[in-house]
Amino acid sequence: MGKQENICQPTFAMILFLDEYNKRLRIDDYRGNVNDIYSYIYKEIDKETYEKWIIKARAEHLLDWISLGFSLEATVPYYFNGSDAYLLCYYTSQSRRESGETLKETELLQDVLNLPTSDYSPLSNQLIMRRAISSDAKQLSQLYRQIFTVYPTPLYEEEYLSSLLQEDSLFYIIVDKNDIVSAASAEIDYVYHNAELTDCATLPAYRKYGFMKHLLSALEAELKQRHIFCAYTIARALSFGMNAAFHQLGYIYTGRLTNNCYIYKSLEDMNVWVKDLSKSKG
């Protein structure tokens, strides 16, 4: 969903991702003159279509972006082959800038951070955890359709999921009697050697069993085998279970993205969690 554009101008080059569905744009990579990048976007981009601009900035450009009106919302340590990324945001809509759930989300986060890190029980013998294959696309799409009324990407479409699985996308699933009951994936960036853990979903009847910790741990093991050591996630700020799962697996909270994307049922704030897999055991 959305489109990527590679833009080259005399004083800069950047990879721009235009996401009309979520009314946002991302600068995923860039080099050159920061002021000229900003001027290009300001002049060329429809400010009503794209209410939120996100830049993955490097440390040496942090003050340059802030001086242009961007604000720091989160960080992803180790993102650029071990160097940190700074998630800076710029808003063209006042309503997009303001969240009505800040206090509630902060209280939930404090409850999560007070939880002890913990081990998890083994899976029942009747359950199978494995990597998903292309033939799982139909069942996976049905799972996501049951969980999410809205989602930033079209995971509820069988063809979309099938194409991801054929492209070596990394999904892990838990199966109960031939039915997929839980799933999660890792989107790997082989240029900067990081991975976003995402697409986490468990059927309501199975949520008390802690399946997500098993899936995330399996994904982490695969990432380490591929020498991907920066793992991060963007979790719904109002989801106690998802934030708790990442905290208890040793992820560090690094910030919150305001009104970041349409997910679950509406436009929501998202918490960022990061882990250095090179320091983790297993």
Tens-digit pLDDT profile for residues 187-224: 999 999 999 999 999 999 999 899 999 999 999 999 99
- Please tell me what DSSP assigns to residue 150: B
Q: What is the dihedral of CA 191, 194, 196, 197, to 10 degrees?
A: 130
Pairing of strands 230-236, 179-189: unpaired
What pLDDT, on a 0 to 100 scale, did the predictor assign at position 1? Answer: 65
Distance CA 16, CA 159 (A): 25
The CA-CA-CA angle for residues 184, 186, 192, to 5°, reads 165
Pairing of strands 230-236, 194-202: parallel
| Token pair recorded at residue 23 | 């009314």
Share of the chain above pLDDT 90, in %: 84
In this prediction, residue 12 has a pLDDT band, given cuts at 50, 70 and 90, of: very high
**Tens digit of pLDDT for each residue in 89-112?**
999 999 999 998 999 999 999 999
Evaluate whether 258 touches 236 at the Cβ level (below 8 Å).
Answer: no
| Token pair recorded at residue 89 | 């945001």
Pairing of strands 24-32, 52-57: parallel
- Please tell me what DSSP assigns to residue 121: P
For residue 86, which of 55, 63, 116 has the smallest C-alpha distance? Answer: 55
Distance CA 281, CA 66 (A): 37
* Least trusted range by pLDDT, from 2-6, 13-17, 55-59, 214-218: 2-6
Evaluate whether 270 touches 256 at the Cβ level (below 8 Å).
Answer: yes
Q: Is the dihedral of CA 171, 113, 57, 193 positive or negative?
A: negative
Most distant CA atoms of the chain, gap in Å: 61
